[in-house]
Amino acid sequence: MTQTTATETAPSRLKQMFMALLIWRERHVKEKTFVIILALLVGIACGIAALALKWAIHFISSIATAHLSITTGNYLYFVLPVIGIIISGLYVRYVVKDNISHGVTRVLYAISQKKSRLKRHNMYTSVVASSITIGMGGSVGAEGPIVYTGAAIGSNLGSLFRMSPRILMILVGCGAAAGIAGIFKAPIAGMLFTLEVLMLDLTTVSVMPLLIASISSATVAYVFTGYDVEFFFVQSEPFVTARIPYVILLGLFCGMVSLYFTRVMNMMENFFSNRLKTPLRKTAVGGAVLATLIFLFPPLYGEGYGAITDLLGGDPSSIVNGSIFYGDRSSVWFILLFIGLIILTKGFATSATNGGGGVGGTFAPSLYVGCMAGFFFAYLCNNLGLGIDLSIKNFALMGMAGVMSAVMHAPLMAIFLTAELTGGYELFLPLLIVSTIAYGTIKIFEPYSIYTMRLAQRGELLTHHKDKAVLTLLKTGSVIETDFIPVKPRMNLKEMVDVIARSNRNLFPVIDENGMMLGVVLLDEIRNIMFRPDLYKRMHVDTFMSIPPAKISIDEPMDKVMKTFDDTGAWNLPVVDAEGRYLGFVSKSKIFNSYRRVLRHYSED
């Protein structure tokens, strides 16, 4: 009996000790200092998670591709990617039992709609599923999953220590930045990713945690993997200013390639979600598309970092290794055709992977397409017989920054990530030019990035519109006023006057026996008859009530509520439930007061 009691009380004792720790922290450690400590812990944890993900992908891939041939086509490509998305799909469907695809979009959704709270399983489930998907050949990247994982680590660590939503948002950003910094060994790019893609405000409160999380995560990666950059690149040909016109043209080309890639991804995503209703159909179609494309174009296998390394090394012929076209590797025009088809099909391969049940991101695919696009542009120019001699390595590097900048709408992050990935800091000026022009080009056609457009279409994007962001944090239910006295439609004027005498409001909702909203009585509109006793028995509420200019649904988002106020010019509007039953009123002044309160809370330094 004593042993059972001790066992039962052990969790409660731990909880009491933890609560005592929280009280001690609140009394002795300032919030700003504690956020720095949490950011350090988040960075270390994300660095370890990034290492685990990279190791798992490499381990699975090395086993799966150990017996593939370089000089001929490999029919295993018809099998391996399909097995990968089947296993990943089953793991997500029956073990995770939650949708963990589109990691960056889900982080944005958590910030926008869930007060920066992510589920605990998100700290590891994306790592497991994406390592299987990518290791077996899924044509996606590991960066989206590691951002999701890092954000979940930051969110759950902050929730454990009972941090406010404002601090949770910062810790989610720290986790995302640390994920990018750890997997790429690129701390500056990690921080810029949070600022440009997640759109967290750069304040004195957020800048230090973001820096510390990014640096600590990158340090973990450096300690365990050394100081080598992700992609080996030696700038053997210096950049000269006479090449700037071609750099400008490359920026335009990258912008159009990015637009094509984004549109293909959206088209395929809609196809899988709207046309293929069952998981079996999605896996069958996605597996067939993915396996066929990888068999024809082996560089589409996995993240494709091997192909990027070959092109940055100036070796275009190796791009056809392991394909049925190996014998054509000496033909310049065939290499151009082969690379061009890879650019055109990468979006289909990536969306087929995710649509078929795999888990991965679009971060690495944008890098990959950019490298191919830059190489294709320079290689084509050099072989048109125009006397042009562009550095194919340099332009491949610039293309990486250009397409990533446009696809993600993050030019600064693209510039610094490309430089940190390759050590190509000497190309900083052309990287700036290409990224800026590519970003400006796609902005003409697509106002949102590939990550944010899904949320923007549903009106759930918070971080990129600050006024709408604050309104999104307000819920209609939190600003309802219920101290209005309702009246019945058959009440006479005398009864109405008695109600007015008891009320401190000049507005009265008219409801029936079922609570349905019928109209309103405005004090100003009956002031001329309320002091005429001869009308007390003759006039009834349903004769002098009016219809409100609009009704607000309890589930209506606050930005639409404000638009209704603007359209009607009203200062008070009734709130009803889904069946039309009266719940209360909302006033424009109450919304403004709540808006200012939330704005102060989330912008506090």
pLDDT tens column, 441-476? 999 998 888 877 766 665 555 554 555 555 555 667
Which structural domain, as residue segments, surrounds residue 83?
26-225
**Is 233 within the bounds of a domain?**
no
Q: Which helix (H) or strand (E) holds 586?
A: strand 582-587
pLDDT at 159: 87
pLDDT at 473: 58
Choice between 113 and 390, residue whose per-residue pLDDT is larger: 390
Choice among 38-42, 234-238, 296-300, 491-495 with the minimum mean pLDDT: 234-238
Q: Is the pLDDT of residue 236 over 70?
A: no
Statement to judge: residues 93 and 196 lie in one domain = yes
Other beta carbons less than 10 A from residue 374's beta carbon: 30
Choice between 376 and 561, residue whose per-residue pLDDT is larger: 376
Percentage of the chain exceeding pLDDT 90: 37
Q: How far is CA 41 from the centre of its chain?
A: 23
**How does DSSP assign 59-78, residue by residue?**
HHHHHHTTT--SSS--GGGG
Highest mean pLDDT among 94-98, 255-259, 301-305: 255-259
Statement to judge: residues 308 and 334 lie in one domain = yes
pLDDT at 164: 79
Could you tell me the pLDDT band of residue 99, with boundaries at 50, 70 and 90? Answer: confident
Q: Mark which of 170, 200, 225 sits at the end of a domain.
A: 225
How confident is the model over 476-500, as pLDDT tens digits?
767 788 888 888 988 888 888 888 8
Whether residue 118 contacts residue 141, with contact meaning beta carbons closer than 8 Å, is answered with: no
Statement to judge: residues 457 and 507 lie in one domain = no
Highest mean pLDDT among 181-185, 256-260, 362-366: 256-260
Q: Is the pLDDT of residue 131 over 90?
A: yes
Choice between 274 and 206, residue whose per-residue pLDDT is larger: 274
Domain count, the chain: 3
**Is 387 within the bounds of a domain?**
yes
**Is 13 within the bounds of a domain?**
no
**Is 183 within the bounds of a domain?**
yes
**How does DSSP assign 167-220, residue by residue?**
HHHHHHHHHHHHHHHHHHT-HHHHHHHHHHTS-----HHHHHHHHHHHHHHHHH
323-327 average pLDDT score: 80
Statement to judge: residues 445 and 394 lie in one domain = yes
Statement to judge: residues 368 and 488 lie in one domain = no
Choice between 455 and 373, residue whose per-residue pLDDT is larger: 373
Half-sphere exposure of 353 (CA within 13 A, CB side): 35
Statement to judge: residues 124 and 260 lie in one domain = no
Statement to judge: residues 197 and 80 lie in one domain = yes
Q: Mark which of 432, 464, 496 sits at the end of a domain.
A: 464
Q: Which contacts of 184-187 are long-range, i.e. CB under 8 A and separated by 24 or more positions?
A: 184/143, 184/230, 184/417, 184/420, 184/421, 185/218, 185/221, 185/222, 185/225, 185/229, 185/230, 185/420, 186/218, 186/230, 186/416, 186/417, 186/420, 186/421, 187/211, 187/214, 187/215, 187/217, 187/218, 187/420
Nearest to 350 by CA among 423, 294, 295, 415: 294
Q: Is the pLDDT of residue 114 over 60?
A: yes
Statement to judge: residues 247 and 160 lie in one domain = no
**Is 6 within the bounds of a domain?**
no
Rounded (10°) CA dihedral 10, 121, 214, 419: 160
Q: Is the pLDDT of residue 542 over 60?
A: yes
pLDDT at 462: 53
Question: E strands within 429-581?
Answer: 507-511, 517-522, 552-553, 572-576
Statement to judge: residues 452 and 478 lie in one domain = no
Statement to judge: residues 395 and 298 lie in one domain = yes
pLDDT at 38: 92
**Is 231 within the bounds of a domain?**
no
**Is 184 within the bounds of a domain?**
yes
CATH number at residue 156: 1.10.3080.10
Statement to judge: residues 534 and 454 lie in one domain = no
Could you tell me the pLDDT band of residue 605, with boundaries at 50, 70 and 90? Answer: very low
**Is 20 within the bounds of a domain?**
no
Q: Is the pLDDT of residue 76 over 60?
A: yes
pLDDT at 461: 57
pLDDT at 362: 87
pTM of this prediction?
A: 0.78
Choice among 6-20, 280-294, 380-394 with the minimum mean pLDDT: 6-20
Calculate the average pLDDT of the chain: 85
CATH number at residue 582: 3.10.580.10
pLDDT at 101: 80
Could you tell me the pLDDT band of residue 2, with boundaries at 50, 70 and 90? Answer: very low
Statement to judge: residues 141 and 271 lie in one domain = no
Pairing status of strand 517-522 against strand 507-511: antiparallel
Q: Mark which of 464, 497, 527 sits at the end of a domain.
A: 464
Q: Is the pLDDT of residue 5 over 60?
A: no
How confident is the model over 164-206, as pLDDT tens digits?
777 888 899 999 999 999 998 889 989 988 888 876 666 666 7
